[in-house]
Structure 1
Amino acid sequence: MNFRKLSIAVLFLTTSGTLLYAQETKKDSVKNEKKIEGVTIQGTTKKGAESNIISLQKKSVEVIERVGSAQLTKQGVGDAATAVTKATGTQKQESSGQIFVRGLGDRYNSTTMNGLPIPSNDPLYKNIDLGIVKTDMIDFLSLEKVYTPRIWGDMAGANVDIVSKVYTGKPYFKVNLGSSVNMNAIQKNNFYLQDGPNFFGTNIINKPSNASVATAGYVFKTSWQNQEKSNPFNSSLGIDFGTNFKIGSQGKLSIFGYGAFDNEYGYVKGIAGGAYDGQNTPLKIYNDSEEYRYLTNSTGLLNLNYKINSNHNINFTTNYIHTTDQKLGNYKGYNRDYYDNDPLQERYQTQLRRATYKVNDLFVNQLRGEHTLSEPLKISWNLGYNRLESKRPDRQQNVTIYDKQMNNSFFASSNPGANNRYYDNLIENDYVGDVHADYKFSDNAKLTLGYSGRYKDSDFRATQYNFRIKLNQGSYFVDPNNYDSFFNLLNYQTGAFDIVTFRGDVKFDPANALIPQFFTSEVFNNAGYANFDYKFNEKLTAQLGVRYDNLSQKMTYNTALLSNGGKIDKNYSKILPSLNIKYALNDFNNFRLSASKTYTTPLLLEMAPFEYEDIDESSLGNTSVYPSDNYNLDLKWEWFPKKNEVISITAFGKYIKNPISRITIASSSNVVSFANVGEGARVFGAEVELRKDLYTRGNSRFYTFINATYLNTEQDLDSDKLLKENTYVSGNFLKTKEKMQGASDFLANVNLGWENKWKSGNLDLVVAYSYIGDNIYSLGFEKRGNMVDKAINTLDAIARFKFSSGVGISLQGKNLLNPTIKRVQDNEGTELVSKEYKRGINLGLGVSYEF
């Protein structure tokens, strides 16, 4: 830990030194000031413009693919998750903001803001849900599919860098109002959510204190009763502004602010939770299910940019995001875990109610600077502190069995966990920093030396109160619409039910029973890197780099899976070389070659021996899982016919040693875990991108943006390796090779747009279509087949009017095709439905006014 403190101290000393130097070197020649000032204005005022995005792509030695704010505005894209899917070879996982790039999912990607890592807002994932990041507060998104040493080494698919907006231009103040409807939700006569949370998502439900539970037992403040909500209309309100002030003769302070609140209602009806054995017999299937959902997002961002003079710049960004997610589900069908007498549901039917409330608070703070100390030497530094608090307060579950013959319901009393309330809380503190120096030997040669450091501590606590039914079946009946009539203080005191945890009974041993499940974690990453750029001539430029990563992972845990507790202490050292070559055939054509090595670490909850239960599946961590090594190769041709046009073709390949995959393990239901399933995996593919003006006349332009990706993936499956390397995760693969989990064979995006400008305003019309092919959600075992997400086609359309008066109007339709979302269990060619539903069409109207 002393080394960690020393590393962070070095960062702060370097920062202080550069700040002092900046104050001492404010007086530069007027000639140099004007030259640099001109370049700076050109580069910053149009960061998000399409022509600038393409120009940077053309000139860069590295392979970069950016999605700018101008394109996102035209397409009506309001969040970063949807924005990233406009780039080639990307897909968004259904019902989440998690991104797959080139067939590689969450664990293989990384997310940064202004170059520094930011934590996930959900402990189930490695990366932040990009769906909560609003595009109004960013300049552009950079999708870095090719590795260079300045990027943190834990990536294989891509690094998504969110570049926050730095204000330039004239002062302004803008108000945005919007409303939309989900056709599924609005057509539902009665819309229900659980008791407790409020409209804005500000009401936080706290876990009862141990003392009150030990003393009184049943002390829960919220009821089990569903609450009806009226007018399920989506709404949004946002403001953003920008201004600047001169400081002295050379200084300038720019301020950009953004604040917004939006909510979203959703409703789906269909099939959920399907799982089958190798003989196609259902283990669990809710063939009559419905889910109500309500989400809120409150976001604030402030960006201060202080240009001391032409050689020195300091920037401070602070971003707070508060999100909530309510989901109330009612599921009817068969579940062997609760009642196995009637799999055909001829007399008995399982009824399950699940209410989930997730609350996430993410606080991102960054202070960074750039300093040209002399003509050849430039120092850049970036310090960040992130804090995450993620809660699932008062998750409720009830299970009853409905007797069709007797027309009454009773509890599945053999399983105390069938009826429960669950509370968890994750707190993470994340300290990150980077400092590097660029030294130009000449116009043709530049050396970069740098250091990156990260320390993250995590503390997770979870308590589940199980309600053990003590009455004999037949001596009571339950109303599934009024569980409070049974679960109440009086029935607890009279002994109708007990409250137990996995550690014991609250009545008889509260001191032990009320100890929560927990795990704590420390992750420390030290990295040094070097990069050398050399321009051989006007056509050929090469970049050679290397990064050394030392990664330490420590964990202490005590959970229901391993109640005796334990520790994990792992340390890895990785040497990560990279090579990027650019050959400019002429002013319009580039050829690029890139090669690198990276690695992939398992997620926190993929390692922690903790089981998280959901309707479709339960997941449990595996202490034996370990990092993969990735070897990457890219070959790309680019053609730039005009300033805002590009046509490119890319061939790429990856070899992943000891790949990590989600696997369905030997259990009676959909329980998944994570393991290094084989010796290697291979990914080969090709990408095509086209941005082209189809027709232009006067101030009108008809254009298209098309990209497509073909993937061929294969991974080794080794049952002996699984048995040898893992303590409590096992499986027997029928195949020795399989496609990679999460990889679709084919992905495509097609956008058609028309823009027309006139004296009093402009009009943008965009139609966007996307296709995602079949992909494996989790690998099967023995005769139980893979869980496969079936192909999806989506279509969105938007019309935006902007008038010179400052008024803007937008009309949009999303998910217009309303495809069926379907997951199946593929048992040797027989597709058995696991879940199936339609999200519903969304129609919306937005109005804005800029002062």
Structure 2
Amino acid sequence: MNFRKISIAVLFLTSTGAVMYAQETKSDTVKSEKKIDGVVIQGTTRKGAESNIIGLQKKSVEVIERVGSVQLEKQGVGDASVAVTKATGSQKQEGSGQIFIRGLGDRNNSTTINGLQVPSNDPLYKNIDLSIIKTDMIDFIGLEKVYNPRLWGDMSGANVDIVTKVYTGKPYFKVNLGSSVNFNAVQKNNYFLQDGPNYFGSTILKKPSKNAIVNQGYAFKTSWRNEEVNNPFNSALSFDFGTNFKVGDQGKFSIFGYAGFDNNYEYFKGVTGGAYDGQDNALRLYTDAEEFKYSTNTTGLINLNYKINPKHNINLSSNYIHTTEQRLGNYSGYNRDYYDNDVNQERYVTQLRRATYRTNDLLVNQLRGEHTVSEPLKISWNLGYNRLDSRRPDRQQNVTVLDKQTNTSFFASSNPGANNRYFDRLLENDFTGDVHADYKIGEAKITLGYSGRYKESEFKATQYNFRILPAQGTYTVNPNNYDAFFNLANYQAGGFFDIVTFRGDIKYDPNTALIPQLFTSEVNNHAGYLNVDYKFTEKLTVQAGVRYDKLMQKLTYNTAIQQGARDKDYNKILPAVNVKYSINDQHNLRLAASKTYTSPLLLEITPYQYEEVDETIQGSQSNYLADNYNVDLKWEWFPKKNELISLTAFGKHIQNPLAKITINSASNLTSVVNVGDTGRVFGLEAEVRKDIYDSGKTRFYTFLNGTYLNTKMELDGEKVRRENAGVGESQYTTDFLKSSDKLQGASEFLANVNLGVEQKWGNKNLMDFVVSYSYISDNIYSIGFQSRGNMVDKAFSTLDATLKFKLGNGMGFSFTGRNLLNPTFTRFQDNTVTGQELVSKRYKRGAGVGASISYEF
């Protein structure tokens, strides 16, 4: 069942905790027992049901927020990234899988599956792209914005925990078939993708072997041509099943399985790449840009659960996710790096073609168990092995200059890297585990545990640059047929182009030229933690604990920028306190305080340069951890079992905050550095989960959430220069416009408003209609420097709708509308001297509609 979210952002402060707690899976049930006068009443409580999630939040000592599968299904939410944005204070950065929580971006958050960390599927980010995780295979998503010692200390925004389904209900098998269209894509007369990848994303593209390059030179298997696609309609097919059977007198063995494939076509047209100097002159600006995007997701999950008896349980799960993404972009405008003789494009126009194919293969294996050794002692353990294989095979780039006077084109030959093919691969083996014991003594529960992680990463990249040999004006080239110029015959002729890498010419020194840019990393993380829950009275419960994190990283690198090694070793003591005071049966007050830390990402501490169309990113080995001090105060009101109203005030003090900046360079490079000594976040969150009208058969309901953020961080150019200077350091400098600014990535206001109607009739027939509007205010994409202002993402809003029918005979139908307002996304550079807002990026994602049919038996 893939359904999507629905939100409405207004100036209403609300929190997604309620939303997250209210979402649960209808098909998954869990046994519950209640003893009354010696009689045991057995029933089934839906683990993902709204009332169950809110009930758990009400009783928990810790501040927990969960989004259950039932609510996700109502909203038509198909993946975990959209589910998380339903939580209070959460936002997804447009154009990426990056999630911001409470104004803090990807590096400040962490992601776990069933409590264990998992690697990112993209070296540019710390966390896995949640959009690749399908909601059909999860029970709920937990959002832990308040730290406790059982969590890894590397978080300041939140930990997102994805809990996969463990099936214990009646046996079933379900098939779901769906289709949808994006109007931008379907209305495009000629839809193009690059040569090579196929419809299912199963094609494996590899870079040419060393022998082929040495002996043949031009040895590429795919062409430069664009392939036209007929019928860019999205499709989805999935099935899931659950069954269980008894083993002996007390045992029960259950199986849950999921498998699915879906694809998605998108098309963007607008402006991109805008970068300017302090006098508002364009350094790069593609005023006529279009981008074709095609993505696939193939997912399989098997979850085996063996309940040996009421005291012992073992679970084994294996999840394989294969995703691909193709992006074919054609960008027309001005770029001084390729041709700087005609800024106003009166005669000459730069034309850039970029085709990118990206594949990810992620395997997540987990084995866990729970054992009640005696009445007061319970031992829980969890072991995991993850393997990631992420590739960008055969990224192609071509740059030509159009002479409008003669209507002919020639290569931007002054830059050998203008025309290139790029191949990279990230391999990660990740071993992780946790074991802890809970021991009850009177009114106290003591938890003692150990967590460990070992992750090895290897990244290799090779870019083949095509150095143009003829002088400009002596030839012309057809931008629709690059193969007529780049081919084996022309290479062997020797007068057209040479192939070089960042290390040299493959003709004259192939052994050196073909050494890839590479870096490797070994991370060892060991932690011990102690936590004590003590119930002082019926109303007051206090949880206090501490965690010791030992973090060690060995980094080696050999790139076009620098060669070297760096060992990083940190010891962190992380205390945490959670206090819950139950005013009465309906009202709770909570207070939490903790210390955590934030580590820079792998690519943020590696001197490696990655070039996108609209920016070039470069790491700094001089970066180090930031420390965070967090405090939360929360009031909760539970009017009914499935209703929640809450208000939270929170604050964070950050030492040595990390942020994205533009460094002093001729190429307008961006990087992430420790920008100042301190930063802070103050915020207010509110949420409402309420039935407006309920007659038993008909129910009108709403779930709202909103967040206000006030952020600030110091900007100290002298600190950046000092900490990045010296032998083996990055040597980065920057000249900030201000001594302080808002936190990079933080919006001042976020809100979601969801309105729904549920109608029941006949024999288990159900109709659900949900409309949702979301709002995100302006936020800083990167900090400005010199007289160039901040890059800012403008506020925008989205509107979705889902209509779903579930019939008693097992049939189901759903109809969805996505991004119905189709707002314009705009990123601009603010110039504080001239007062101009200079466009960096502007486009519309396109509205879409879809329908699906399912049958469960």
Instruction: Please indicate, yes or no, whether the TM-score normalized by the shorter chain is above 0.5.
Output: yes
For 1:40 and 1:264, locate their aligned partners in 2 and report how far apart those are by CA, in whole Å: 45
For 1:347 and 1:820, locate their aligned partners in 2 and report how far apart those are by CA, in whole Å: 30
For 1:797 and 1:577, locate their aligned partners in 2 and report how far apart those are by CA, in whole Å: 44
Aligned to 1:459: 458
CA 1:340–1:37: 2 relative to 1, 3 Å? farther
Aligned to 2:412: 412
Deviations 1:103-122 (Å, cap 9, x if unpaired)? 00000000001100011111
Q: 1:519·1:555 contact (CA, 8 Å) conserved in 2? A: yes
Amino acid at match of 1:766: V
CA 1:639–1:348: 2 relative to 1, 3 Å? same
CA 1:33–1:508: 2 relative to 1, 3 Å? farther
Q: 2:120·2:128 contact (CA, 8 Å) conserved in 1? A: yes
For 1:47 and 1:665, locate their aligned partners in 2 and report how far apart those are by CA, in whole Å: 50
Aligned to 2:506: 506
For 1:734 and 1:844, locate their aligned partners in 2 and report how far apart those are by CA, in whole Å: 47
Q: 1:185·1:191 contact (CA, 8 Å) conserved in 2? A: yes
For 1:97 and 1:689, locate their aligned partners in 2 and report how far apart those are by CA, in whole Å: 25
Aligned to 1:837: 843
For 2:403 and 2:197, locate their aligned partners in 1 and report how far apart those are by CA, in whole Å: 33
Q: 1:268·1:838 contact (CA, 8 Å) conserved in 2? A: yes
For 1:286 and 1:92, locate their aligned partners in 2 and report how far apart those are by CA, in whole Å: 25
- How far 1:734 moved relative to its partner? 1.7
In proportion to residue count, which structure has more helix? 1
Aligned to 1:133: 133
Say which of 811, 819, 824 aligns to 1:820.
Answer: 824
- How far 1:288 moved relative to its partner? 0.2
Aligned to 1:192: 192
CA 1:32–1:376: 2 relative to 1, 3 Å? farther
Deviations 1:174-233 (Å, cap 9, x if unpaired)? 000000000000000010000000000000101100111011100101000000000000
Q: 1:37·1:310 contact (CA, 8 Å) conserved in 2? A: no
Name structure 2 gaps, 5 residues minimum: 1-32, 725-729
For 2:39 and 2:503, locate their aligned partners in 1 and report how far apart those are by CA, in whole Å: 66
SS at match of 1:649: strand
Q: Does 1:606 align with 2:604?
A: yes
SS at match of 2:734: coil
Say which of 783, 786, 797 aligns to 1:782.
Answer: 786
Amino acid at match of 1:298: T
CA 1:41–1:602: 2 relative to 1, 3 Å? farther
Amino acid at match of 2:739: T
SS at match of 2:603: helix
For 1:800 and 1:485, locate their aligned partners in 2 and report how far apart those are by CA, in whole Å: 53
Aligned to 1:516: 516
Amino acid at match of 2:500: V
Q: 1:176·1:849 contact (CA, 8 Å) conserved in 2? A: yes
Amino acid at match of 2:735: N
Amino acid at match of 1:58: K
Aligned to 1:342: 342
Say which of 734, 740, 744 aligns to 2:737.
Answer: 734
Aligned to 1:698: 696
CA 1:355–1:36: 2 relative to 1, 3 Å? farther
Q: 1:665·1:780 contact (CA, 8 Å) conserved in 2? A: no
- How far 1:284 moved relative to its partner? 0.2
Q: 2:427·2:458 contact (CA, 8 Å) conserved in 1? A: yes
Q: Does 1:525 align with 2:521?
A: no
SS at match of 1:313: strand
Amino acid at match of 2:644: V
- How far 1:33 moved relative to its partner? 11
Aligned to 1:303: 303
Aligned to 1:569: 567
Deviations 1:218-273 (Å, cap 9, x if unpaired)? 01010000000000000000000000111111111000000000000000100010
Say which of 632, 643, 646 aligns to 1:645.
Answer: 643
Q: 2:35·2:41 contact (CA, 8 Å) conserved in 1? A: no
Q: Does 1:628 align with 2:609?
A: no
- How far 1:728 moved relative to its partner? 2.1
For 1:418 and 1:96, locate their aligned partners in 2 and report how far apart those are by CA, in whole Å: 25
Q: Which region of structure 1 is more displaced relative to structure 2, 199-208 or 94-103?
A: 94-103
Aligned runs of 1:231-242 on 2, under 5 Å? Answer: 231-242=231-242
- How far 1:666 moved relative to its partner? 1.9
For 1:467 and 1:680, locate their aligned partners in 2 and report how far apart those are by CA, in whole Å: 46
Aligned to 2:755: 752
- How far 1:671 moved relative to its partner? 1.9
Q: Does 1:678 align with 2:657?
A: no
SS at match of 2:490: helix
Name structure 1 gaps, 5 residues minimum: 1-30
- How far 1:698 moved relative to its partner? 2.9
Amino acid at match of 1:833: V
Amino acid at match of 1:461: K
SS at match of 2:222: coil
Amino acid at match of 1:440: K
For 2:778 and 2:76, locate their aligned partners in 1 and report how far apart those are by CA, in whole Å: 27
Amino acid at match of 1:127: N
Aligned runs of 1:284-363 on 2, under 5 Å? Answer: 284-363=284-363
Aligned to 2:595: 597
Say which of 762, 769, 776 aligns to 1:772.
Answer: 776
Q: 1:140·1:162 contact (CA, 8 Å) conserved in 2? A: yes
For 1:51 and 1:133, locate their aligned partners in 2 and report how far apart those are by CA, in whole Å: 24
Percentage identity across aligned positions?
Answer: 69
For 1:339 and 1:677, locate their aligned partners in 2 and report how far apart those are by CA, in whole Å: 34
Aligned to 2:478: 479
For 2:762 and 2:719, locate their aligned partners in 1 and report how far apart those are by CA, in whole Å: 69
Q: 1:673·1:729 contact (CA, 8 Å) conserved in 2? A: no
- How far 1:416 moved relative to its partner? 0.2
Amino acid at match of 1:255: I
SS at match of 2:604: helix
Q: 1:751·1:767 contact (CA, 8 Å) conserved in 2? A: yes
Flag the structure with more relative contact order, 1 or 2, with Cα contacts below 8 A and sequence separation at least 6. 2
Q: Which region of structure 1 is more displaced relative to structure 2, 727-736 or 256-265?
A: 727-736
- How far 1:668 moved relative to its partner? 4.0
The TM-score, its normalising length taken from structure 1, stands at 0.95
For 1:353 and 1:801, locate their aligned partners in 2 and report how far apart those are by CA, in whole Å: 45
CA 1:729–1:38: 2 relative to 1, 3 Å? farther
Deviations 1:701-732 (Å, cap 9, x if unpaired)? 00000001000000000011000001322101
Aligned to 1:438: 438
CA 1:486–1:577: 2 relative to 1, 3 Å? same
CA 1:688–1:33: 2 relative to 1, 3 Å? closer
- How far 1:41 moved relative to its partner? 6.3
Q: 2:34·2:41 contact (CA, 8 Å) conserved in 1? A: no
For 2:432 and 2:291, locate their aligned partners in 1 and report how far apart those are by CA, in whole Å: 39
Aligned to 1:262: 262
- How far 1:96 moved relative to its partner? 2.1
For 2:292 and 2:570, locate their aligned partners in 1 and report how far apart those are by CA, in whole Å: 44
- How far 1:36 moved relative to its partner? 13
CA RMSD of aligned residues (A): 1.4
Q: 1:237·1:262 contact (CA, 8 Å) conserved in 2? A: yes
Deviations 1:349-395 (Å, cap 9, x if unpaired)? 00000000000000000000000000000000000000000000000
Say which of 809, 814, 821 aligns to 1:810.
Answer: 814
Amino acid at match of 2:646: S
For 2:503 and 2:40, locate their aligned partners in 1 and report how far apart those are by CA, in whole Å: 68
Q: Number of aligned pairs? A: 816
